[in-house]
């Protein structure tokens, strides 16, 4: 009996010792995650505070520009947004809409607008036309070929410019020796939690790619607000990687042609575009799967940096909960408060600068929601490739 009791006590002591060692290991991992998160926040805060405006105060009006939109079954969006694009206060520009095999009223709407605007040009792709590039890439190639001018401004049919100076500001950045100019592609406010999270996720993505670009390592942009020199886009189209997927032309352009010298990020909210966010979770997740599937084509060092940031973010919240339940509440919560103060300050400043201040109150929930978001969509970042444009 004495031996049984002794063995039980020894097993109990061993289990307690193992549990304590495991908790200590988790605490060390949690501390490393906090260090990574705060380091990223300080780095981004420093860049946000030290960066100079890439947009001169007065935008010259003498750079001709071709605005290119690829549209498939976008009749209602074209009717609503195209007049706003055609109202740009830019001296000389043309609007090219590539109507890609639409079977709705897109052609009727485009023809009606063309009678009112001499600078609107329509390129029509029939369903039976032979395609030499997959998905949206084929439509984009037709728009590029039709463009008269060296400066291109790419936009989507579901986008409207934030101001009548949008084209001038984006053109002006190209005028100042940059070959690729990425603007902010905002989503309009609407009721509901999903809208808040989509807008925060868009803001957060902008914060990431803008600070990386400022550091000389550009990796992405958004095709709904992207200016580029025509010759650069033509050169990108000739690369084998360009035809590897039906969408992702924005990220692939940066991947193939972007460098620390030729990419500019425009933070001016008058140069932003506005879109209506999805109001259905499944539809939005499908959209994000398509967007994120380009991530596996980023350069390896970019994949590592983004992966470390996202992994440390998720582990920070998971390990904080585990350690708090295990009785380490005071210590881990102190570190978590430090991390949240820095991170939320960074996001709050960015939201204010981009006129998204209404999101600030939602930052804690968005912070937790992003950890869940990464868990759901990580297969599309690392493994899967979307094979359709729409």
Percent of the chain with pLDDT over 90: 71
**pLDDT higher at 62 or 12:** 62
Copy the structure tokens of residue 66. Answer: 């071709």
Mean pLDDT of the chain: 88
Element (DSSP H or E) covering residue 121: strand 120-125
Instruction: Work out the pLDDT band at 33, boundaries 50, 70, 90.
Output: very high
- By DSSP bridging, strand 226-229 and strand 151-156 are antiparallel
What is the edge-to-edge ordering of all strands in the sheet holding 273-275?
159-161, 273-275, 185-187
pLDDT at residue 56 in the model: 44
pLDDT at residue 287 in the model: 79
What is the edge-to-edge ordering of all strands in the sheet holding 93-100?
120-125, 93-100, 65-71, 151-156, 226-229, 180-182, 263-265
In degrees and rounded to multiples of 5, residue 182 shows phi and psi of -105, 125
Domain covering 65-281 assigned CATH 3.90.550.10 in the classification? yes
Copy the structure tokens of residue 23. Answer: 């908790």
pLDDT at residue 247 in the model: 75
**pLDDT higher at 22 or 89:** 89
pLDDT at residue 328 in the model: 84
Is the pLDDT at 173 greater than 50? The verdict is yes
Taking only the tens place, the pLDDT of each residue in 376-386 is 766 555 444 54
Query: If 0-12 CB within 10 Å is exposed, 13-18 middle and 19+ buried, where does residue 282 land?
Result: exposed
User: Best-predicted range by mean pLDDT among 243-257, 319-333, 357-371?
Assistant: 357-371
pLDDT at residue 362 in the model: 96
pLDDT at residue 370 in the model: 93
Report the pLDDT averaged over residues 196-225: 95
**pLDDT higher at 54 or 22:** 22
Q: Give the whole-angstrom CA distance, residue 183 versus residue 169.
A: 10
Torsion of the alpha carbons at 327, 330, 333 and 334, rounded to the nearest 10? -150
Instruction: Work out the pLDDT band at 221, boundaries 50, 70, 90.
Output: very high
Q: Give the whole-angstrom CA distance, residue 116 versus residue 111.
A: 9
pTM: 0.88
pLDDT at residue 59 in the model: 47
Taking only the tens place, the pLDDT of each residue in 234-273 is 999 999 999 888 778 899 999 999 999 999 999 999 999 9
Neighbour tally for 356: CB within 10 Å = 23
Instruction: Work out the pLDDT band at 1, boundaries 50, 70, 90.
Output: low
Lowest-pLDDT range of 48-52, 74-78, 171-175, 198-202: 48-52
Q: Give the whole-angstrom CA distance, residue 181 versus residue 170.
A: 7
pLDDT at residue 302 in the model: 94
Is the pLDDT at 29 greater than 80? The verdict is yes
pLDDT at residue 17 in the model: 66
pLDDT at residue 390 in the model: 57
């Amino acid at each position: 009996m004495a031996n049984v009791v002794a063995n039980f006590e020894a097993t109990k002591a061993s289990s307690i010792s193992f549990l304590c060692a495991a908790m200590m290991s988790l605490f060390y991992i949690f501390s490393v995650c906090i260090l990574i998160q705060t380091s990223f926040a300080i780095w981004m805060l420093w860049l946000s505070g030290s960066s100079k405006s890439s947009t001169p105060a007065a935008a010259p009006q003498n750079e001709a520009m071709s605005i290119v939109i690829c549209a498939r079954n976008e009749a209602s969006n074209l009717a609503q947004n195209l007049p706003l694009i055609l109202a740009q206060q830019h001296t000389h520009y043309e609007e090219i809409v590539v109507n890609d095999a639409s079977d709705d009223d897109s052609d009727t709407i485009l023809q009606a607008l063309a009678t009112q605007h001499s600078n609107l040009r329509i390129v029509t792709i029939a369903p039976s036309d032979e395609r030499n590039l997959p998905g949206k890439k084929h439509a984009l190639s037709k728009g590029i070929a039709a463009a008269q001018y060296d400066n291109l401004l790419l936009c989507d049919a579901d986008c409207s410019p934030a101001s009548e100076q949008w084209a001038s500001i984006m053109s002006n950045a190209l005028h100042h020796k940059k070959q690729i100019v990425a603007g902010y592609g905002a989503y309009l406010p609407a009721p509901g939690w999903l809208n808040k999270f989509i807008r925060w996720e868009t803001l957060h993505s902008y914060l990431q790619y803008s600070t990386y670009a400022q550091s000389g390592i550009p990796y992405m942009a958004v095709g709904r607000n992207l200016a580029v020199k025509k010759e650069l886009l033509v050169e990108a189209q000739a690369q084998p990687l360009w035809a590897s997927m039906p969408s992702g032309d924005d990220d692939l352009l940066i991947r193939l042609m972007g460098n620390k010298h030729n990419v500019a990020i425009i933070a001016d909210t008058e140069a932003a575009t506005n879109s209506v966010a999805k109001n259905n979770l499944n539809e939005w997740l499908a959209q994000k799967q398509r967007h994120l599937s380009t991530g596996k084509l980023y350069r390896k060092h970019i994949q590592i940096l983004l992966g470390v940031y996202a992994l440390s973010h998720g582990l920070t919240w998971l390990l904080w909960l585990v350690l708090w339940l295990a009785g380490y509440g005071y210590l881990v919560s102190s570190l978590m408060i430090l991390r949240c103060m820095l991170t939320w300050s960074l996001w709050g400043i960015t939201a204010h600068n981009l006129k998204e201040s209404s999101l600030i109150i939602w930052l804690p929930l968005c912070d937790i929601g992003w950890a869940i978001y990464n868990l759901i969509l990580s297969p599309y970042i690392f493994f899967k490739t979307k094979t359709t444009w729409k």
